[in-house]
Amino acid sequence: MRHLLSAGDLNVDSACLILDTAAQLASVTDRTVKKFPTLRGRTVVNLFFEDSTRTRISFEIAAKRLSADVINFAAKGSSVSKGESLKDTALTLEAMGADAVVIRHGSSGAPHRLATAGWIQGSVVNAGDGTHEHPTQALLDAFTIRHHLRDGTGDLSGVRVAIVGDILHSRVARSNVLLLRTLGAHVTVVAPPTLMPYGVSQWPCAVSYDLDEVLPHVDAVMMLRVQSERMHAAYFPSVNEYSRRYGLNALRMGLLPPHAIVLHPGPMNRGMEISADVADGERAVMVEQVANGVSIRMAVLYLLLGGMTDDGKKEI
C-alpha cells in the first residue's frame, strides 16, 4: 500500500498489521528517548485546508517521534487564501521534496485526487476529507476498542459497536463502519432520520432510530459530534430535544452492559451529544483515544515510508 485514503482499502491483514505495529510503537512513551531514527531525512507535510488541532498535532508528534522532518502547511495565511489551486499547491510541495503528504480538506475526494493525479510522487495520507472518510481516526478507535475488549490482539469479531449522532456529516462514522466491519465487528448506526446519510441501507451495518433500544446490546458506544458548522438547514427542532433523544447521559449509561466503553472522536459538545458526567466518567476512553492516535499515526507513517520507496514495489 502506497497511500492511506480510505478505511475501505484495508483488509483484515493490513488493518491488523497497522494495529499490531501501533501496539509495539506505543511502548516508546515509557522510554527516556521518545524517538526512533527510522524516518530520518524524510519530510512529512501536514497539508491542512480545514481547521484541526488534535489530528494535526497527532500527526506532527507521530512524524517527529520517527525522526522525520515535519512541515505544517495551513491553508489560512498561505497562498491558498490567495486563490492557489490544489494542483499548484501539490506541485509546489513536490518540488520541495515531500515524501508524504498528510491532507485534510473540506471536499470529499481531495486526497484521492492528490494521490492519483500524478502531481506528487510521495505517499498521501487522508486526515479527513469533507464528509467522506477519516481512516486514521477509525484505526485508533479500533485500536482502543481492541485494547479494552479483546486484550489488544487479533481482530474484533463479535464486538458490537453503536455509532450515534450526526452520521450524515461524519467522515468518522463512514470510516469506522467500513473498518469495524472488516475487522469482524457488528455495527449499528443510530441517528434521527434527518441525520442519516442517503443510501445508509447499503452500508454494511444495521440502522436504528432508537438509542435506548440499541444500548443494552452493545460493547462500545461511539458518540459523534453534532457538526453545526456543516449544517445549513434545521436537522432537529432544538438542542434540548436532540440531547433528550440521542444524547448519552448518566441515565442511559445504566442501559449499557457493565463492560461497555464510551468513545468520542472529539471535540465534544458537552451537554449536547454527551453529558459532562459521562464524558468524565471512568468508562469514557477519550484521553486514551488521543494517546492511541499518536501510535496509530506512527504505525501508518512507518508502514508507508519505512520500507522501499521504489514506485509500485512498496507493500504494507
Partner 1 sequence: MDSARSVVLDAGDIGRAIRRIAHEVVERNKGAADLILLGIPTRGVFLARRIAAAIELIEGDAVAVGAIDVTLYRDDLRLRPARALEPTAIPTGGIDDKVVVLIDDVLFSGRTVRSALDALNDIGRPRAVQLAALVDRGHRELPIRADYVGKNLPTALAEKVRVRLLEFDDFDEVTIEGGAS
Segment near partner 1 (CB under 8 A), from 24-32, 129-137, 173-181, 226-234?
24-32
Contact call for residue 12 and partner 1 (CB under 8 A): no
Q: What CA–CA distance (Å, rounded) separates 118 from 187?
A: 36
Contact call for residue 315 and partner 1 (CB under 8 A): yes
Segment near partner 1 (CB under 8 A), from 17-25, 94-102, 109-117, 233-241?
17-25
* Whole-number Cα distances in Å, 30 to 21, 113, 233, 261: 16, 39, 48, 25
In the complex with partner 1, the residue whose CB is nearer, 115 or 168, is: 115
Cα-based angle 64, 153, 296 (whole degrees, multiple of 5): 20
Interstrand relation of 43-48 and 100-105 (parallel, antiparallel or unpaired): parallel
In the complex with partner 1, the residue whose CB is nearer, 34 or 259, is: 34
Using left for φ > 0, alpha for ψ between -120 and 50, and beta otherwise, residue 145 falls in: alpha
**# chain residues binding partner 1, by CB under 8 A:** 26
**Residue 124 forms beta bridges with which residues?**
101
Contact call for residue 24 and partner 1 (CB under 8 A): yes
Cα dihedral 79, 80, 84, 90 in deg (nearest 10): 90
Judge whether 54 counts as a catalytic residue: yes
Segment near partner 1 (CB under 8 A), from 14-22, 70-78, 85-93, 115-123?
14-22
Contact call for residue 143 and partner 1 (CB under 8 A): no
Q: What CA–CA distance (Å, rounded) separates 131 from 118?
A: 24
Contact call for residue 31 and partner 1 (CB under 8 A): yes
In the complex with partner 1, the residue whose CB is nearer, 106 or 306, is: 306
Pick the closest to residue 138 from 13, 263, 301 (CA basis).
263
- Of residues 4, 10, 25, 272, which one binds partner 1 by CB under 8 A? 25
Give the catalytic positions in this structure.
54-55, 82, 104, 134
Residues that bind partner 1 (CB under 8 A): 17, 20-21, 24-25, 27, 31-33, 35-38, 66, 302-309, 313-316
